[in-house]
A and B are shown apart, each in its own frame.
Chain A
Amino acid sequence: MISALAGFLAQLLHVALVVVLAPLLVGFVRLVKARLMGRRGPPITQPWRDIRKLLRKRPVVAAGATAITTTAPHLACAASLLAAALVPGFAHGMSLAPLADLLLLAGLLATARVALALAGMDAGTAFGGMGAARALSFAAFAEPVLLLCILVLAMIAGTTNLDVMLVSLRDGGVGLRVSLALAAVALVAVALVENGRMPADNPATHLELTMVHEAMLLEASGRHLALWEMAAALQLLVWLALLSALFLPWGVAPADGGPVAWLWGLATWLAKLGALAFALAVFESAVAKLRVFRVPEFLGAALLLAALAVALLFVSTGLA
């Protein structure tokens, strides 16, 4: 009973935390990138200020648009929020832990992507449709990599439940494995593409022809745009939290561990997220954007890495 209550409290706290943290994380990445380029950069709270400002503004909807434009941002943001609520953060064993299936997580992120693609096509404008076509094409290359990575993790942990996976990766004496490292690299590549990050898409671009994610948002405004920004920030948080839960599972507190353990878990989680966001900013500053039609090669390399991870795992466990 006590542990159920603690799990519920931890879950509530986690949801509140991800909502607050997600835009801050985006702000942190932007700040670090600006500093690396020699600019002062906006303060870390700038995305929150933008969202607050946009939330107060009445959206202007394109004349030919349907109810999709007005409902899709809510659905995408809800799916991203649910995904963020499922990925363990400072604690594991929270109330929603039985729900945290990796395939469901992929399904929720696909829901957000689908909502965005439909919203992009809604007004019947050229760039919205182009962005939707590109985003859906990237997904076709990202999904196989994701499934192979899930396979590697499921073979090591014996389940696709994220919470169980985290505990068994931390305590199960898995140790350092080459296949896990390969899967981590492949998953990072998927995360970069799915979040519209640098080698696949430039989040700071102003040139419509090169846009993927932003092209679908060209007609969005006001409250709707705020929800889209929030959804994108939540998805970045989901991917970084997922990477840290799977490949840096240390320091995560049990949900019924009490406030001290929670504080320690929170500190390590923030440190891990910060480190990953910093690495992302450094990586984005160091690489150039790929041509749209070169992205499959990038994801193809990730697919090879993931396949290699599966093969190594077979050999090392003597299954093949």
Chain B
Amino acid sequence: MLTALCLVLAALAVLVLPAALGLAVVLRAGCSAAMAGLAALSVAALLWPSFAVLALPFGPPWAAALLALDPLSAWFTLLLGLTGCFAALLIVPAPRAELVGFPLFLLGMALALTAADGFTLLLGFEAMSLASWAMLHDRRAARLYLIFAVFGGGCLMAALGLLSAGSGSLGFAALRAAPPEGWTAVAVLLLVLPGVAAKAGLAPLHLWLPLAHPAAPGHVSALMSAVMVKVALYVLLRLIFDICGPAQASWWGVPLLLAGAASALLGALRANMEVDSKAILACSTIENVGLIAVGLGLALMFRGADMAVPAALAMSGALLHVLTHGLFKCLLFLGVAVAQAQAGSRRVDGLGGLLHNMPVLGWTMLVGALSAAAIPPLAGFASEWLLLQALLGAWRTGDALSQFAARPARALVAGGVARGAAAMLRLWGLVFLGRPRSPRVAGAEDAGRAALILPAALCLLLGLFPAVGLGLLHPVLAQWLGPEAVVPASLFGLTAGDAGASYLVLPAAFLLVAFAVALGRTGRGHATAPAWDCGFLAPPPHLPFGDPATQPSGPGFAQPIARMLGRPLLAAREAVAAPGPGSMAPALHEARAADPTWRALAALRRARHSITLQADRLRGLSIRHALGLIFATLVLLLAVLAGLERP
């Protein structure tokens, strides 16, 4: 199996050649084939778990690079393989730098996910960051993205250094044998959390996501949102859940829980205010990563309290959501890319009525949007049901600190889920319903069918048969919790714990469809007439799609929530500029909102500026003062060294 994995990785490396020659067709076929192979390989690795480690014949000077495909890695490579395959189908001829970046991006993610030592992990992680950075179009977004990536990578490097201090080796097996204890463990946690949060887009380190994801080409932003942020979560799972061992206190889950709940609400709220459809999807990614982080935090809390069953529930909810979110977010990003290519815009205010002439895109996107909105019986509801059940069971831990954290988390998560659903409906409704907002939109035609239908079908199937997904997940739980880990699934759906709470998908879906079909027998056929629109006058002939001012716009649809929740949380402001009587100038309504973390970033920038000014004053010192400063530094360093050397 590991040989096949090496073949996939080698194939990705070789695919850089046709990319450098600009052969988009070869790249498309090669990448989709390699990724399909990776997905098949991952399913095999989940069905027949193996913990074998392969030492590559090269690596850093001190050891060989190690690869492994244990169940935890295989679950994430399954996501990478599936979404990578769908995204690669939409590769279009582009500048060479962009084409070369794509296989390198895939290679970096695959390497980070299958690494069995710290060096290879970081190598893959940084390759992933750099390759995706190279593919961004917008310089400002790229710089911000790079700052966050460097910060995250630095934190992870320091954490791995601390971890390896005990055993002197970077191999995961050696690290696992000597888990950190005492203050080292806390330091590792405090380094890994910001490192991961910066890459996964957890609040308050989420600023780059809504800027960077729209700046990448469609298929790349699909992978950035569906897989790259999950790779960061994989690193969290690997370093904290796996290597740090089971002997950690239950408060370890609390920061994750709180950051996740805050991200869920903030991301969902921002998704309601954006007008660029890719930015909407990127904000929704912040929300979903928050939900996954809530699940992971709960899993840590339950394990710390020695409660294996709820820990398995929270963990399987989080990991199932990793897969479902990856699938529907990949589908939605690819759909937006198709819409942009065919209809010429990705602003919700530039589209409209696309369901008429792009039915495949519209209906597949509806599956994705309803999955994201957690509507039963689609995929998103199954995983969010598990997460909410875990959150509802959090009171059983009985630990005062976690209770304190879980209480606001519940309200934040529920608000986030409802707001996220509203954001997805707003996106789909404004883009696909109503009247076209430009002539080009009215003439657009369907394209890229395979890349849309396949993930939509998977969303449907995973929603109807979540037990199959959880069955594949079982070895991951067994790897983490030991053999007594039980998967919260039953014959027809999902179960939570011992108290008989269950979500029986198949009967519910069957009854829903049966009722709808029975109601359809009340009659057929309908007449068509111009929209009544409360008696609004018919539009003049020069407006073939009706008066655009009478159709809801993106900011208009966001207005209620912006006024209700945006004012306190996002500093949302509205200004109306009405011209005076007799003036022919148009009235303007402007709505603005700002993320609260921008203010923190601005404060950091001011602090850096003032430090620079202070340091600049050192240049004006006389030679006497300069020499004295050097001498004082020397003495201080010697004193520190003496203190450290003392037995």
Contact = CB atoms under 8 A, between A and B. Distances in A.
20 contacts: A55-B522, A58-B526, A59-B526, A62-B529, A62-B532, A64-B353, A110-B373, A118-B429, A122-B434, A123-B531, A124-B551, A139-B422, A144-B410, A147-B388, A147-B392, A158-B499, A226-B522, A227-B522, A303-B411, A314-B403
A137 interface: yes
A264 B355 CA distance: 52
B400 interface: yes
A218 B419 CA distance: 25
Contacts of A68: 355, 433
A319 to B, nearest CB: 6
A73 B522 CA distance: 12
Interface of B: 352-353, 355-356, 362, 370, 373-376, 381, 385, 388-389, 392, 395, 398, 400, 403, 407, 410-415, 417-419, 421-422, 425-426, 428-430, 432-435, 496, 499-504, 507-508, 511-513, 515-516, 518-520, 522-523, 525-534, 536, 546, 550-552, 556-561, 563-565
B515 to A, nearest CB: 4
A22 interface: no
Nearest to A111: B375
A127 B556 CA distance: 11
Contacts of A314: 395, 403
Given A117-B429, A124-B433, A148 B522 contact: no
Nearest to A224: B526
B533 A125 contact: yes
B395 A155 contact: yes
B426 to A, nearest CB: 7
B550 A160 contact: no
B380 to A, nearest CB: 10
Given A62-B529, A310-B407, A159 B564 contact: no
Interface in A221-235: 222-224, 226-227
Given A103-B503, A125-B533, A218-B532, A66 B563 contact: no
A48 to B, nearest CB: 14
Instruction: Name the 5 nearest CB pairs between A and B, nearest first.
Output: A129-B552, A124-B434, A78-B515, A62-B531, A159-B499
Contacts of A66: 355-356, 362, 432-433
A139 B433 CA distance: 21
Interface string A133-157: 1101101111110111011001100
Interface in A287-320: 292-293, 295-296, 303, 307, 310-311, 314, 319-320
A74 B421 CA distance: 21
A144 B501 CA distance: 20
A124 B527 contact: no
B395 A160 contact: no
A147 B411 contact: yes
A110 B551 contact: no
A57 B503 CA distance: 38
Nearest to B490: A98
A137 B272 CA distance: 10
Given A117-B429, A123-B531, A140-B418, 11 more contacts: A58-B523, A60-B529, A64-B356, A64-B531, A117-B425, A126-B551, A126-B552, A137-B561, A137-B564, A146-B414, A227-B519
Nearest to A102: B501
A66 B356 CA distance: 7
Contacts of A151: 392, 395, 410
B302 to A, nearest CB: 15
Contacts of B403: 314, 319-320
Contacts of A79: 512
A63 B422 contact: no
Interface of A: 55, 58-68, 70, 73-75, 77-79, 81-82, 85, 96, 98-99, 101, 103-104, 107-108, 110-111, 114, 117-118, 121-130, 132-134, 136-137, 139-144, 146-148, 150-151, 154-155, 158-161, 164, 208, 218-219, 222-224, 226-227, 292-293, 295-296, 303, 307, 310-311, 314, 319-320
Nearest to B407: A310
Contacts of B503: 101, 103-104
A98 B407 CA distance: 28
Contacts of B375: 107, 110-111, 114
Contact of A63 (B389, B428, B429, B531): B531
Contacts of B523: 55, 58, 223
Nearest to B356: A66
A73 B526 CA distance: 14
A78 B561 contact: no
A186 to B, nearest CB: 12
A114 B525 contact: no
A51 to B, nearest CB: 10
Contacts of A223: 522-523, 526
A165 B511 CA distance: 23
A311 B400 CA distance: 12
Contacts of A310: 407
Nearest to B430: A121
A121 B433 contact: yes
Contacts of B355: 66-68
Given A79-B512, A320-B400, A147 B410 contact: yes
A101 B434 CA distance: 35
Contacts of B531: 62-65, 123-125, 219
Given A79-B512, A99-B508, A320-B403, A63 B529 contact: yes
Contact of A107 (B352, B374, B533): B374
B287 to A, nearest CB: 12
Contacts of A98: 500, 502, 504
B389 A293 contact: no
Contacts of A136: 421-422, 425-426, 561
Nearest to A159: B499
Nearest to A303: B411
B411 A307 contact: yes
A319 B512 CA distance: 40
Contact of A61 (B414, B422, B527): B527
A161 B501 contact: yes
B499 A58 contact: no
B523 to A, nearest CB: 5
A58 B411 contact: no
Contacts of B556: 129-130, 133
Interface centre among A70, A307, A319 (most CB of B within 10 A): A319
A118 B433 contact: yes
A148 B376 contact: no
A178 to B, nearest CB: 17
Given A121-B430, A139-B422, A219 B532 contact: yes
